[in-house]
């Protein structure tokens, strides 16, 4: 597949998804909105990966490229491309599909458990997922479920954690792709957000639970295998 990456800040990249791309022989191009950037024609790609960032989907005045990015995401969905959004990426997909995106009642930063819905359990590769799965979160905003989307995952702090739209469009609010290097970069740039909160862990707590990444990576690769079939 010809995959294209939308990256919003230098410290939120593909993480372990890069390993999956190399293992499967896919090609990768990228638009890095924090530098000189160029968006390809939607007809040049087979799939789009949209990563996270500290901005909001509504920040077009501060980040004018958001408008162009949203239009491309819409084109990719309408032309039946594989589209995968992580954190801000998921929020952008939700926004493009007409759902509301807004601040969540709680910021969620750290390793917290998620629950898979009954609908998710009918969809491979979620059927055999550990019901006590813990994943890495770093978000303040959330979204309503887009019309026609399947609600996949929720957590105590945030109802809509993941959705699937028309089998090829996946939004993940959390970070299954986290690696040690990626986590170090996020902590370096986002340390100021680690204020006391009901769902905000300290840097020490976050670093102490990095072993969880192995199971998260295994699930992520299984999801990517399925959605790109």
Q: Quick check: helix, strand or coil at residue 161?
A: coil
DSSP state of 122: G
HSE toward the beta carbon, residue 174, CA cutoff 13 A: 29
Residue 186 has pLDDT above 90, yes or no: yes
Give, in degrees to the nearest 5, the angle at Cα 97 between 129 and 170. 20
d(CA 81, CA 100): 23
Instruction: Over range 30-55, report the average pLDDT.
Output: 95
Q: What pLDDT is stored for residue 182 in this prediction?
A: 96
pLDDT digits (tens, 9 = 90+) for 99-151: 999 999 999 999 999 999 999 989 888 887 877 799 999 999 999 999 999 99
DSSP string, 23-43: HTT-EEEEEETTSS-----GG
d(CA 187, CA 94): 26
Residue 194 has pLDDT above 80, yes or no: yes
Instruction: Over range 190-207, report the average pLDDT.
Output: 96
Domain containing 100 equals: 2-227
Give, in degrees to the nearest 5, the angle at Cα 228 between 223 and 229. 105
pTM: 0.96
Q: What pLDDT is stored for residue 165 in this prediction?
A: 97
d(CA 49, CA 7): 9
Q: How many domains is the chain partitioned into structurally?
A: 1
Q: What CATH number did the domain enclosing 148 receive? A: 3.40.50.880
Q: In the chain, what percentage of residues exceed pLDDT 90?
A: 93
């Amino acid at each position: 597949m010809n995959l294209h990456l939308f990256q919003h800040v230098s410290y939120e990249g593909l993480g372990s998804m890069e390993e999956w791309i190399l293992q499967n022989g896919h090609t990768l191009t990228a638009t890095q909105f924090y530098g000189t950037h160029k968006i390809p024609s939607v007809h040049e790609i087979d799939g789009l990966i949209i990563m996270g960032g500290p901005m909001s989907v509504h920040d077009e005045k501060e980040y004018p490229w958001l408008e162009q990015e949203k239009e491309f995401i819409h084109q990719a969905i309408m032309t039946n491309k594989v589209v995968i959004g992580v954190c801000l990426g998921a929020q952008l997909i939700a926004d493009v599909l007409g759902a509301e995106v807004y601040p969540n009642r709680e910021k969620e930063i750290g390793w917290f458990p998620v629950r898979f819905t009954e609908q998710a359990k009918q969809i491979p590769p979620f059927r055999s997922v550990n019901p006590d799965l813990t994943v890495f979160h770093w978000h303040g905003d959330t979204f309503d479920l887009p019309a026609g989307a399947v609600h996949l995952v929720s957590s105590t702090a945030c109802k809509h954690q993941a959705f699937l739209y028309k089998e090829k469009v996946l939004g993940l609010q959390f970070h299954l792709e986290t690696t040690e290097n990626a986590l170090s970069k996020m902590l370096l740039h986002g340390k100021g957000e680690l204020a006391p909160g009901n769902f905000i862990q300290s840097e020490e707590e976050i670093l102490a639970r990095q072993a969880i990444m192995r199971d998260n990576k295994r699930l992520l690769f299984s999801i990517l295998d399925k959605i790109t079939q």
